Amino acid sequence: MNTVKHNQERLLQILLAPQVSEKSTFVADKYEQVVFKVAPDATKPEIKAAVELLFKVDVDGVQIANVKGKTKRFGRFVGHRKGWKKAYVCLKPGQEINFAAGES
């Protein structure tokens, strides 16, 4: 664990949802990483602490990507979807987060 202490209430609000897609499944199998949708103002140390707190696993590293919102049209009106942030969480060897089985 890091020597930096994080506010536990803040950590519970960092992870919004697991990102389940074909790409995230491939990444999970090949690189032992899990992909999460996270709060827009989340930092790497906060994401690491939140995953370790919620899932009781050891995190090796965190990479972050900002996903830009798509431009969408409805007739002659143009709008934009909101951008969001996703985190690739690399787990230490032997660690695993299984969303299908549920919490045990």
Number of domains in the chain: 1
Tens digit of each residue's pLDDT (9 = 90 or more) over 12-25: 999 999 999 999 99
Burial class (CB in 10 A: 0-12, 13-18, 19+), 27: middle
Confidence band of 67 (pLDDT split at 50, 70, 90): very high
Tens digit of each residue's pLDDT (9 = 90 or more) over 30-53: 888 999 999 999 999 999 999 999
**Residue 3 in domain:** no
**Residue 14 in domain:** yes
**Which residue, 25, 64, 20, is CA-closest to 46?**
64
Show the 3-state SS of the chain. CCCCCCCHHHHHHHEEEECCCHHHHHHHHHHCEEEEEECCCCCHHHHHHHHHHHHCCCEEEEEEEEECCCEEEECCEEEECCCEEEEEEEECCCCCCCCCCCCC
Domain span at residue 78 reads 8-91
List the CATH number of the domain containing 53.
3.30.70.330
H/E element holding 31? helix 22-31
**Residue 53 in domain:** yes
pTM score, whole prediction: 0.82
**Residue 1 in domain:** no
Q: In percent, how much of the chain has pLDDT > 70? A: 90
Specify the higher pLDDT residue, 5 or 104: 5
